[in-house]
Amino acid sequence: MAKFFLYLACLQINMVVKDQKRLRPLYKLLRRIERKAPKQIQKIASASGEKVWEGIDCLSCANCCKSMSPTYTHADIKRIAAFLKIPADEMKAKWLRKERGTGNWLNKTLPCQFLDSKTNMCKVYEVRPADCSGFPHLTRKRFIDYVHVHTQNLDECPATFKMVERMNQLVMGTL
């Protein structure tokens, strides 16, 4: 039964972030920011980022763990392998692949092998990759440096969606 409610919650979340009518103006705003950011954009991004997490439950979502791979640093691999009590090479051989071009270590398959599909919890939460603990990078960096990341995440991550939607309302003067 719990799995069914989780399924319903995920369905509801995806109906919002995949709503093309709501997405279109947000992609437009991100493209505009990439071309020429409005002067107050960092202020607007910070103000929008503050309240984003109200009403968002990552355990009812887990879209990031289901649809994209974190980038594992060597320190991440070492730490997670030690936590699982296996050699780092075994962890790489079992679950990871080296991305051509960048040499980054990524998951071989999705959803992430460390996601518990019954609870949406991370089985290596205490030692998860730094990329996961910082995700979706809404307020940690200068917004302008992360526009490409937010563009990628917009239709997957409800927190990103909510932040960019608030930014759009502030830019348009409707909030």
Specify whether the CB–CB gap between 52 and 138 falls below 8 A: yes
- The answer to whether residue 33 forms part of the interface with ligand SF4 (CB under 6 A) is no
Q: Of 130, 131, 140, 139, give the one whose Cα is nearest residue 164.
A: 139
Q: Is 110 helix (H, G, I), strand (E, B) or coil?
A: coil
Q: Which is nearer to ligand SF4, 13 or 171 (CB)?
A: 13
Stretch binding ligand SF4 (CB under 6 A), from 25-33, 58-66, 96-104, 165-173? 58-66
Give the total of residues touching ligand SF4 (CB under 6 A).
22
Q: Is 49 or 129 the residue whose CB approaches ligand SF4 more closely?
A: 129
Nearest CA to 154 among 164, 168, 145?
A: 164
| Contact region with ligand SF4 (CB under 6 A), list: 3-11, 26-34, 112-120, 141-149 | 112-120
Considering the complex, state which of residue 43 and residue 94 has its C-beta at the smaller distance from ligand SF4. Answer: 94
Q: Which of 6, 64, 147, 163 binds ligand SF4 (CB under 6 A)?
A: 64
Verify binding: residue 157, ligand SF4, rule CB under 6 A: yes
| CA max distance for the chain | 55
Q: Does the protein bind ligand SF4 through residue 171 (CB under 6 A)?
A: no
DSSP state of 72: B
**Residue 105 binding ligand SF4, by CB under 6 A:** no
Give CA–CA dist 169/174, Å, rounded: 5
Separation in Å, CA 36 to CA 31, 40, 58, 146: 9, 12, 32, 14
The phi-psi region of residue 124 (left if phi > 0; otherwise alpha if psi is between -120 and 50; otherwise beta) is alpha
The answer to the question of residue 128 lying near ligand SF4 (CB under 6 A) is yes
Give contact residues for ligand SF4 (rule: CB under 6 A).
56, 58, 61-65, 70, 112, 114-115, 122, 124, 128-129, 132, 135-136, 156-159
